[in-house]
Amino acid sequence: MSGVEGRVALVTGAGRGIGRRTAEILAERGARVMCTARSESELAGLGLDFAVADLGTPDGCAFAVDETEKRLGPVEIFVCNHGIGSAHERVIWEQDIDVWSETMRINLDGPFYLSRLIVGRMVEQRYGRVVFTSSTAGLVAEHAGSAYNSSKHGLIGLMRSVAVDGGAFGITSNAVLPGWVRTAMAERSAAQEAEDRGMTVEQVWDARAALYPPGRVVTVDEVAEAIAFLASEESSGISGEAIRIALGASE
Binding residues for ligand NDP (CB under 6 A):
13, 15-19, 37-39, 42, 54-56, 81-85, 106, 133, 135, 178, 180-181, 183-186
Q: How many CA atoms lie within 13 A of 145 on its CB side?
A: 22
Q: How many CA atoms lie within 13 A of 173 on its CB side?
A: 26
Q: Which residues pair with 34 in a beta bridge?
A: 10, 49
Name the minimum Å distance from CB 158 to ligand NDP: 13
Task: Between 17 and 128, name the residue whose CB sits nearer to ligand NDP.
Answer: 17
Q: Which is it for the CA torsion 50, 101, 84, 40, positive or negative?
A: positive
Name the minimum Å distance from CB 217 to ligand NDP: 7
**Residue 137, amino acid:** A
Name the minimum Å distance from CB 38 to ligand NDP: 3
Give start and end residues of each alpha helix (H) in 36-126. 40-44, 58-71, 97-104, 110-125
Q: By Cβ distance, which residue is nearest to ligand NDP? A: 17
Task: Between 17 and 127, name the residue whose CB sits nearer to ligand NDP.
Answer: 17
Task: Between 127 and 148, name the residue whose CB sits nearer to ligand NDP.
Answer: 148
**Residue 10, amino acid:** L
Pair 245, 13: CB distance under 8 Å: no
Task: Between 93 and 251, name the residue whose CB sits nearer to ligand NDP.
Answer: 251
Name the minimum Å distance from CB 200 to ligand NDP: 18
Task: Between 83 and 154, name the residue whose CB sits nearer to ligand NDP.
Answer: 83
Name the minimum Å distance from CB 251 to ligand NDP: 13
Cα-only R_g, the chain: 17
